[in-house]
Structure 1
Amino acid sequence: MLETTQTTQTVNLNELSTVELAQALAARLAIHEKDWHRLKANRSARACEQAAAALVFLLKKQPEEALPRLNQAAGWLDRSISAPPCPTHGK
């Protein structure tokens, strides 16, 4: 039986909906502010973040929101996009 720990309680993954699982994955893969500078140009991390977000939108039947995120994920993987410079540096 697969289980995951959330704070102090254990949740059986079978009790979660597919959307809830996708949201948990998206939250886990999101690049948080404290990690932004370290991961902003990490192609794998950025592609995972965007693909997971796209999956959430697909499962919520919002393909118009999923498609740009899938395109962003592909852009990170095929190197057609890059991280913009940090707006707080170089001024």
Structure 2
Amino acid sequence: MVQSQTHQLDQLSTLELAQALAERLTIAPNDWHRLKANRKAQAAQHAAAALVFLLNDRPQEALIRFQQTTGWLDRSISAPPCPTHGN
């Protein structure tokens, strides 16, 4: 089974793998409250998005996401207010 999974992964481009990872790590709206302060989840989401931008030759967008990743990890940024509750 592991060999079959490896073969399936070999069929995908690096960009497709990064996009799949970014999709998997994106915090869904219904999980936002539960994960808004989870630094690991937030950092992983931004890092995966950064990788997708980098592979799409958009280094400036990638840099912004990598800086956000760093901010979550070094605790220099925190979760914004809930988008559905306003200010």
Residue of structure 2 equivalent to 1:14:
10
The answer to which of 15-24 and 57-66 deviates more is 57-66
d(CA) in 1 for partners of 2:56 and 2:46?
15
d(CA) in 2 for partners of 1:57 and 1:46?
17
d(CA) in 2 for partners of 1:38 and 1:81?
17
> What one-letter code is carried by the residue in structure 2 that aligns with 1:55?
L
Between the aligned residues of both structures, percent identity stands at 64
> What one-letter code is carried by the residue in structure 1 that aligns with 2:41?
A
Unaligned runs of 5+ in 2: none
Unaligned runs of 5+ in 1: 5-10
Measured after TM superposition, the shift of residue 49 of structure 1 is 0.1
The answer on 1:41 being equivalent to 2:37 is yes
TM-score (ref. length: structure 1): 0.85
d(CA) in 1 for partners of 2:13 and 2:73?
29
Measured after TM superposition, the shift of residue 44 of structure 1 is 0.4
Measured after TM superposition, the shift of residue 41 of structure 1 is 0.9
Residue of structure 1 equivalent to 2:5:
3
User: Which of the two has greater helix per residue?
Assistant: 2
Residue of structure 2 equivalent to 1:55:
51
Residue of structure 2 equivalent to 1:79:
75
User: Which of the two has greater strand per residue?
Assistant: 1
Question: How many pairs are equivalent?
Answer: 84
Which 4+ runs in 1 deviate beyond 2 A?
Answer: none
